[in-house]
Amino acid sequence: MYHPKIFTPYRELIVAQSFRSRGVSPYPAEALNLGLYTDDQSENILVNRRRFAETLGISPAQFAGSHQVHGSDVIVVNEPGELKGYDALITQRPEIILTITTADCFPILIYDPANRSCGAAHAGWRGTAAGIAHKTLVAMQENFGSKPADCLVYVGPGISYNHFEVGREVAIQFPKHHVKAGEKPGKYFVDLSAYNHEQLTNAGVPTKQIEVSPDCTVVNNDRYFSYRRESGETGRMLAVIGLKNNLH
C-alpha cells in the first residue's frame, strides 16, 4: 500500500491507497481485490480486506463504504457499514474508516486538521463532471465547519489523460482546456485528474496542500486494477482515511 506523503505529519490519521498485489484472489481479480461488488468469491474479498486492515492496525468492521453509482451525492457517516447510492463520504467520528473503491476512477481523500474531519470521494468521469470534489468540500464545510484553506487532499491513481479516450457526448461535459482531440475522428482525451485538481483549488485548497498521484492505472497495470485495460474483468483497490480513537 501507499501512504500519501501529504498526510505524513498527522499521526492521528489512518490513511492508505492499496495496490493489487499480495492477496488471495485468482485471475482476473488477482490478487488483492478489495471490492465487495465484483465477481470474485466473497471469501477471497473478506480475507483480502482483513489482511489490508490488519496491516493498518485496524479491523474491517471499522470500514464505512458505499455501493458507488458514479453520482455526486455526499453523505455524513456516523457509524461503519455499507451504504448504497453515495459516491462521497464524510465523517468527524474517530475509528470510522472511510473507503473508496476504484479501478480507473480517482479516489480523493481529504483531511481537515483544524476540525478533525475527513472526506473521501469517488471521482469517475460522471462524478468529476458533476463536481464531486467541490461538493465534498462544501459538505465538510456545511457539516463540520471545515475551511478549504485548512484542508489537505490526496488525489489517488486513476486513468491518465492519454488513455481516457471518449466520444463527443462525454467530452463536451468538461472544460475545453481539459480536453484534446483523440486519435480517431469524433474521439477525445479528457484529463480527469487535472479537472479534479482544478475543482479543489477553485474551492480554496492551496496547491501546496494537494498531492496528486503520478501513476496511471492503465500504464501501471501491474500495480493497480484497470477496468478499461482489463475489459471490465478485474478487481478493485481501496483508498481509505479515518481518525484514530486516541487523537492526542
Q: Is the pLDDT of residue 147 over 60?
A: yes
Please identify which residue in the block is written with the cell numbers 498526510. Answer: 7
Q: What is the pLDDT of residues 3-14, one digit of tens each?
A: 999 999 999 999
Q: Which phi and psi angles does 48 have, rounded to 5°? A: -60, -45
- Is 35 in contact with 18 (CB distance < 8 Å)? no
pLDDT at position 245 is 82
Give the cell for residue 54.
490488519
Taking residues 244-248, report their average pLDDT: 68
Quick one: CATH architecture of 5-159+210-243? 4-Layer Sandwich (3.60)
Cα(154)–Cα(13) distance, rounded to whole angstroms? 13
Q: Which runs of E-coded beta strand occur in 39-144?
A: 63-67, 74-76, 81-84, 88-91, 97-102, 106-112, 117-123
Instruction: Report the DSSP pairing between strands 81-84 and 63-67.
Output: parallel
The residue among 47, 3, 1, 7 whose CA lies nearest residue 24 is: 47
If pLDDT is split at 50, 70 and 90, which confidence band does 247 have? low
If pLDDT is split at 50, 70 and 90, which confidence band does 248 have? very low
Q: Is the pLDDT of residue 246 over 90?
A: no
Instruction: Report the DSSP pairing between strands 106-112 and 152-155.
Output: antiparallel
Taking residues 33-47, report their average pLDDT: 93
Q: Average per-residue pLDDT in the chain?
A: 95
Taking residues 158-167, report their average pLDDT: 95
pLDDT at position 231 is 87
Q: Which phi and psi angles does 238 have, rounded to 5°? A: -120, 135
Domain range summary for the chain, segments of one domain joined by +: 5-159+210-243
pLDDT at position 11 is 94
